[in-house]
Structure formats: structure tokens, C-alpha cells
Chain A
Amino acid sequence: MLSARDVEHYYGRRRVLEVPEISVRPGEVLAVVGPNGSGKSTLLRILACVERPSRGTIAWRGQPVKSAAQLKEIRRRVTLVEQHPWLFRGKVKDNVRFPLELRRVGAAEAERRVADSLAMLSLEGLAGRDTRELSQGEIQKVAIARALACDPEILLLDEPASAADPRSAAALYRLLDQLRARGIGLCLASHQLEEAYRWADRVVALAEGRPSPVTPENLFRTEIPEGSGPRRVQAGPLELYVLTDRSGPATVAIPPEDIVVSTEPLHSSARNQFTGRVLRISDDGRGRVTLTVDVGTELVARITKQALDELDLTVGSPVVLTVKTMAVRVF
């Protein structure tokens, strides 16, 4: 198990990360979600021990990592694939073989593992290709194959599907499922919440470097006007009633579980009501359904499978989303 405790990280004087505790366990997929700039990549780099946090400790199997020897050990077992991976000059297969050379794996064995790793990402055809001729999506795949050649116990992936077409993304997530079944611990940074919820066992949401008290769906940066009591704020294209003591710049969030989905407008006490169409429906197979609705911006609502069936919703159905003022979180 790989964990971070009381980690803080500063760029200059700006604190970009403040995480009291996070851990990646074998055979489990942890998704770290949040908007761009929320600290996901920094957290992954710190977990991979390629960036030293300003404060706090990284622990491997419960032992705090302190000595250079421990660092070396953890880097051999934990591998990071960055969102925009760096490939060394040369051929694809040279890149995948590189970690094996570092581990002094014999030539025949290395050849086999390079072929295996490339095959897992359906990259056999690119083995002899120069890395400068690859597309961004291919670069990400090669970097994942290279990471798999390391035979890691923990694999950290930063937005691994960001440059992938939908079919490649689906193939990638199936691969992650296989890796999980083999007992590899996976940590996935993503801003694609539906995917995170669909494929991850646990989800940690980051907002401005901190684990957020709410899930990071339906997050909006806004400016709260002076005053007290309920106020109307602009949340992206939406006008939203919020109740808060604060004013000035803030983040507002609508928890997906607190959205009422209906086919007709409701006559109720709730002050926020939006009409739109269902864009996507994702079923987690455990009775929970996540709806993505286009109401001028994308809002995510979570309802039960039964409710979905009773409302008879499909992609494209017109729906009304209703949220109480007090359900809107401000932080």
C-alpha cells in the first residue's frame, strides 16, 4: 500500500496541495477527480516520489520513506504515467525496453516483456516506429506500455484517456480492470467524472488542492455579491440561488444526489429549476445511475435505477432538474 500523510506542497508561497491522508491499495482503483489546476497531477507526482512535497510523508507498506535507498525501492515499484508523457528519442520498443535495461533483465526475457507490454495496448504495429512520429494518443499508450514493462505494484495514471478516442478509452479502462484483477493498485487522475465513477472503487475529489467535502461534479467558480441571506449567483451559464454568509470569489457545487429529476416542472419550495435534455446515462450496475444533463452546461444528477425506469428516461429525453437553495454548497 502506498500512502501520503499530511502532505502539503507549495509553489513559491502559493499552496497547491493540502492532503491529510490518501492511500492507494493493491487490487483497487482510486480515482482522483477535480477540475484543471486542482492539484491532481502534483499529488500523483508526489505519490510517485518524483517530486518531494514541501511537508508531509509518503509511506510504503506503512513505512515512511526517508532514505535514498527507500526512495529507489519505491520508485521501482510505483510507476507514474504523466498526462503528457515524455518519450525518449528512438523507437517505441526502445522506450518500452528502457526500464527493463535499468532492471538488468536478460535480453530474451526483456524481448518477451516488451512484446507483452506492447500487446496489452495493441501497439504491436508501432514497435519499430520513431517516437517523434506518434500522435498524442499513441504517446499516452506507449507510455502506459512502458510503465507496464516496469511490472509495477502501483500504477499512477494522470488523465490516461485524455487524448484517446472513445474506443481506445474503453479498451484502456478494460485493461485497467484486468490490472486490478491481477492485484495492481491503480490511481487515476481524471476530470471525467462519469468515467471515474464507473471504473473506480473509490473516488477522492480535489478542489484547490484539498480533498473536497463534496463530489466535484457540478462545480462552478463564481463571484458572490455582497449581502446576506439567499443570493443569486452566476454559475457558468446558470443562475443559481445560494445561501451563504460569504461574498467574493467562491466555488459553488450542486451535489448530484441532491438534484430532483422530473419530466415536468415541479411546483415546490425549491428555487433552482433547470430544463434540459439527457446527454448520457451511466449505470454502475449496483442500482445507481448517473445522468448527465445538458442545461446550457452539463449537470450530473444521481438517481436510482428504479427511478430511471419509472421516469422512462433515455438519451435525449427532456428533463427538469430541481435543487433547493440550501442544497447548493459554497466553499
Chain B
Amino acid sequence: MDFFGDGLRRGLELILGGDPEVLGITFLSVRVALVATVVACVIGVPVGFVVGTTRFFGRRALITVLNTMLAFPTVVVGLIVWGLLSRRGPLGDLGLLYTWWAIVIAEVILAVPIAAALTAAAVQGIDPRVRRTALTLGASGWRVHWLVAREARFALLAAVVVAFGRVLAEVGAAMIVGGNIRHQTRTLTTAVALATSQGDFPLAVALGLILLGLALTVNVLLQLLQGRGDA
């Protein structure tokens, strides 16, 4: 128990003392997660919108693909992206492997299905009268979509938050394509894995606490949003 207590105490000291190593890793992690979430939502939300609101050939197949991708093993995504970006891979010339952009790419692939599937569910749950009312009052095109999105706004925000949470907590793909390089691609999750294996328990605890804190914040945010959605 001493071992845990000691780790916790020294971990807190690192956080409260503003250890530059800890802060640097945290900022990098949040930056990667934010960029990946934004890119994933820019792609995934419109896809989900179309899937949720229109009828087209292959729609059911697309929904199945999206739902399958929700359970995509992250190390497999890491493997695929590594293959694409490695020197001998098709995108090797870009020189992105082991940069934080490589992590962003892998996380985007993981987060797009989440954003799309949750968006589709959100807009499907919207009363069909919203669209009909907008149309019959003379709205068209983007205006109709905007009104539907506005009714679904809390559920859409929840989709974004869930995507962010997944990206932040992901370790497998980040490790493979980022390489866990200090100051460059060492995120909270990969740093925890490394610190633990190196026996630097206090550092691992400090980083783990930060990760936990961020996850908690994200979930509190999500619950607040869902609560407002019911109102």
C-alpha cells in the first residue's frame, strides 16, 4: 500500500509543481486529440447527417460498415497507417511516420465512425415533422439541414465529445505510428505505458491522474449536454 501511496503523493507533486515534462506531454496529447477530433467531425458529422436523413442505395451496408468500424481494434488501425506511412509504403514520401501528424491520421480513422454513427443516430431521432415543417414553410437545402441539426444540437455535441474521449484515451495506434518519441510524439497514454515499464511509477501515476481528470471532465460535459437535451 505504501508503494501506491508513495506513487500517488509524488505523482501529485509532479502535477502541482508544474513539471515541464508532464505539462509538455499533456499539451501534446490534448493538441493531438483536438486536431484529430475536429478533422474527424468535419468528415464524420456530414456523413452521419446524410446517412441519417436520406435514403440511398447502399445505405444499410454503409451503416453496417460504420458500426463495424466502431469496434475496429486500434492496433490494427495503427498497423495499417504505419504500413501506409512507412518509408516503403505508398505515402512514405510524405515523411509523416513518427510525427504527431501520423497519430492524428490514425486517430481520425478511429474517430470518424464514432462521429458518423452517433450523428446518424442523433438526426434519425429527430421528429420528422421538423423537416416537413421547414419545407412547407418555404425553407430549402441547407436551411432545412440547419434546422434539423439545431434540433439535434445536444446529441451532436455529445457525438463530438465521445469522439474526443476516444481519441484522448487511445494508446495502441498512437504507440505504433507515433513511436513514443520524447517531446515529439509522446502522448499521455504512451508515456504512461513507457513510464510503467521503466519503473518510473510516480511519473506514470501523475500522467494517469491527468488522463483520468480529462476523461472525467469530458464525461461530466457529456452528461450536462445529455441532460439539456432532455429539457
Contact = CB atoms under 8 A, between A and B. Distances in A.
Interface of A: 45, 48-51, 72, 75-76, 78-80, 82, 84-86, 88, 98-99, 102-103, 146-147, 150
B42 interface: no
Given A88-B147, A102-B143, A150 B138 contact: yes
Given A86-B127, A88-B147, A51 B132 contact: yes
A50 B136 contact: yes
Contact of B140 (A45, A48, A75, A84): A75
B133 A102 contact: no
B221 interface: no
B138 A86 contact: no
B132 A79 contact: no
A50 B133 CA distance: 8
Nearest to A87: B133
Given A50-B136, A80-B132, 5 more contacts: A49-B135, A99-B138, A102-B137, A103-B138, A150-B138
Contacts of B139: 102
B129 interface: yes
Contacts of B140: 72, 75
A88 B136 CA distance: 14
Contacts of A76: 138
A21 B132 CA distance: 23
12 contacts: A48-B132, A50-B131, A51-B132, A75-B138, A76-B138, A80-B132, A86-B132, A86-B133, A99-B138, A103-B138, A150-B137, A150-B138
Q: Which of A45, A79, A88 has the most CB of B within 10 A?
A: A88
A227 to B, nearest CB: 45
Given A86-B127, A88-B147, A102 B132 contact: no
Interface of B: 127, 129-133, 135-140, 143, 147
B132 A98 contact: no
A82 B137 CA distance: 12
A86 B129 contact: yes
Contacts of B135: 48-50, 75
Nearest to A143: B133
A48 B136 contact: yes
Nearest to B135: A50
Contact of A85 (B131, B133, B138, B147): B133
A112 B108 CA distance: 51
Given A88-B147, A102-B143, A146 B137 contact: yes
In this complex, which of B127, B132, B133, B147 has the most chain A Cβ atoms within 10 angstroms of its Cβ? Answer: B133
A88 B140 CA distance: 16
A71 to B, nearest CB: 8
B17 to A, nearest CB: 48
B129 A79 contact: no
Given A88-B147, A102-B143, A82 B132 contact: yes
A82 B129 contact: yes
Contacts of A98: 137
